[in-house]
Amino acid sequence: MFVWIGVHNPITGVVGMAFTPERWTYLLMAYAFAASVLPVWLLLQPRDYVNSFQLYLGMFLLLAGTTVGNPQMVAPAVNTSAAGLQPLFPMLFITVACGAVSGFHALVASGTTSKQVARQSHAKPVAYGGMLAEGLLATLALVAVAAGMGSSGEWSARYADWKSAGSQALSNFVHGAGAIVAYTGVPLHVAKVFVATVAIGFALTTLDSGTRLIRYNVQELGRAWRLSVLQQPLLATAVAVGLIGGFALMRSPDPITGQLKPLGSILWQLFGTSNQLLAGLSLLVVSLYLRALGRSAVYTGVPMAFMLVVTITALGWSMLGFWKQGNSMLLSLAGVILVLALWLVKEAVDTVRQPQFVREALQPGAGGQ
């Protein structure tokens, strides 16, 4: 109802102040600061709970629209004509992220989800159910962009080249998903706004959870470096919000077009690789833990090996592209990520080779540390 009201009576400002992108950024920074400092049960948890109904409704409408409208796939099974295409391997496996495997989700599970379950036995249904819901959402998103465009000509125009497809990914999803939701009887213009609201809900969840996780990391660095000032929640949160705001507000020339863009949109080119690399490293940690307990680690070790091979290959390919573009900033950042990842893998291998590894881990009380 409120989406319909907002479509017909939009609020463009308050007391003569227009809602520009910069002002929205400052408002969201203030929200992220509050969400990170306040207890989980006071803001983050109830906000996520209320927002979940909106997200479930969006998924239900997409399912209903797909069932009722039976939209036809207008996207080709394989597209080889678009300009600037990257190799299918390894880029496919770092493009499909959260619906398959995601390192960020591993951070969220350890940083916020673990603090909200009533008992340890709830972790399995929550995690497994979340995985199924995320996989379903990924499938619906693919249906939206592959069958919601109306015609193959429109799809080809929106996915004419690799770069524009990436920069317009959200608008393409909103357009296609809105068309599918419209099959349920919702007016098209209202359906698109509703889908955009659902997508923003996901982004808002990422913002407050991500800020809290950065705050945890800053505090852990403070403990490791013995800097008590960084262990203070308010200062650590200010550092986290400052980093996020800097990526959103700072402008840097795009190495290809030369246009000034937010620094975060340029660094976003490393998101897919770094996120999936973090997933592989998370599986590495779980594999070490299982091995330390004397249990089979094959179920996590095999996907871990696959993810590490894929992401390190993708990182190398990306670095080659950054070198050709003359993009020293992204080349340097990618190099740092690669070195850190290889260092962690080496540390894991050295740890497993130690004879006392399993014995020490199996000592009383070690499993709970």
The stretch 219-224 carries a mean pLDDT of 92
Identify the pLDDT of residue 365. Answer: 52
Binned at pLDDT 50, 70 and 90, residue 362 comes out as: low
Averaged pLDDT score across all residues of the chain = 87
Spatial separation of the C-alpha atoms in residues 201 and 348, rounded to whole Å: 37
In DSSP notation, 29-56 reads HHHHHHHHHS-TTTTHHHHHHHHHHHHH
Task: Name 127's Cβ contacts closer than 8 Å, sequence gap at least 6.
Answer: 109, 113
Identify the pLDDT of residue 162. Answer: 84
Identify the pLDDT of residue 14. Answer: 66
For residue 244, pLDDT beyond 70: yes
b/e code 237-265 from CB counts within 10 Å (16+ = b)? bbbbbeebbebbeeeeeebeeeeebbbbe
Binned at pLDDT 50, 70 and 90, residue 369 comes out as: very low
Could you report the per-residue pLDDT of 28-83, keeping only the tens digit for each? 999 999 998 998 888 888 888 888 898 999 999 999 999 999 999 999 988 888 88
Q: Which has more confidence, 149 or 9?
A: 149
Binned at pLDDT 50, 70 and 90, residue 256 comes out as: low
Q: Residue 286's closest CA among 310, 305, 313?
A: 305
pTM for the model stands at: 0.85
Spatial separation of the C-alpha atoms in residues 362 and 317, rounded to whole Å: 41
Could you report the per-residue pLDDT of 168-206, keeping only the tens digit for each? 888 999 999 999 999 999 999 999 999 999 988 888 888
Q: Residue 70 carries which side chain, given as an amino acid letter?
A: N
Quick one: what percent of the chain has pLDDT higher than 70? 93
Q: Say if residues 193 and 7 touch (Cβ distance below 8 Å).
A: yes
Own/partner long-range contacts of 34-43 (Cβ < 8 Å, ≥24 apart)? 35/207, 35/208, 35/211, 35/212, 36/208, 36/211, 36/212, 36/215, 36/237, 36/240, 36/241, 37/233, 37/234, 37/237, 40/112, 40/115, 40/116, 43/208
